[in-house]
């Protein structure tokens, strides 16, 4: 994490609860997760940093909800950097009793591709963050579906020349050394150390 952020830029982070982390209850609007940790590290790296960090995560969102608020939460903000992390709810709905709200792989790919096409017109740097599940059993059904969405994100990152942040390998390495519950007690929502792991992985991919 040696790189310094470009000054006077606007960085927008959009996604679901893992991005949200109570940002609307936070007077500063950053929430208590990886977005806040990233901002703090930017300031540590460069105390004169003036990069504006905007958290636009909404708990419970799938890519469908992301599409509905795209104009207000992305296009209108004119970001210099846009970080997108979405996908676990698209899968989770099939496992938590709301299958009608789940988003299958084809719809997920098509919707996200459409949003990335719109983002390309904004002339901003795109960062795609893969969904993950803190589940050590790699054959567990929900994990396999989440990894499917992660592969789609990887494909789209290549297609749109976006920076890719791969989180499943980072969490797998952490789980190899300690319990999964240390990083995400419910397998989906990271603990404090889990959010710090996301932030460090993101910064390594984005700033070098």
* Active-site entry in 59, 80, 189, 191: 189
Between the two ends of the chain, the Cα-to-Cα distance in Å is 6
List Cβ neighbours of 145 (8 Å cut-off, separation of 6 or more): 91, 94
* Active-site entry in 100, 106, 176, 186: 186
Alpha-carbon gap, residue 48 to 68, rounded angstroms: 36
Active-site annotation holds for 195: no
Contacts 24+ apart (CB under 8 A), 37-40: 37/195, 37/196, 37/198, 37/199, 38/13, 38/199, 38/202, 38/203
Alpha-carbon gap, residue 129 to 201, rounded angstroms: 10
Active-site annotation holds for 189: yes
Active-site annotation holds for 16: no
* Active-site entry in 17, 20, 61, 195: 17
Element (H, E) at 109: helix 105-120
Alpha-carbon gap, residue 64 to 197, rounded angstroms: 27
Q: Hey, which residues are catalytic here?
A: 17, 186, 189
């Amino acid at each position: 994490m040696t790189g310094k952020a470009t000054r006077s830029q606007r960085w927008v982070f959009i996604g679901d609860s893992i991005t949200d982390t109570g940002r609307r209850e936070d007077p500063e609007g950053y929430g208590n997760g990886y977005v806040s940790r990233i901002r703090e590290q930017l300031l540590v790296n460069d105390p004169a940093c003036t990069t504006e960090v905007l958290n636009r995560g909404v708990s419970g969102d799938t890519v469908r909800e992301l599409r509905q608020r795209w104009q207000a939460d992305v296009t209108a903000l004119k970001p210099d950097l846009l970080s997108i992390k979405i996908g676990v709810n698209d899968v989770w709905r099939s496992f938590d009793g709301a299958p009608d709200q789940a988003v299958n792989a084809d719809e997920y790919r098509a919707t996200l591709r459409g949003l990335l096409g719109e983002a390309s017109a904004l002339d901003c740097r795109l960062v795609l963050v893969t969904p993950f599940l803190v589940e050590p059993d790699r054959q567990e059904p929900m994990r396999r579906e989440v990894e499917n969405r992660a592969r789609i994100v990887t494909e789209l990152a290549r297609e749109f020349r976006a920076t890719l942040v791969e989180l499943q390998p980072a969490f797998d390495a952490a789980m190899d050394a300690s319990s999964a519950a240390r990083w995400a007690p419910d397998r989906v929502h990271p603990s404090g150390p889990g959010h710090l792991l996301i932030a460090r992985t993101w910064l390594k991919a984005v700033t070098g």
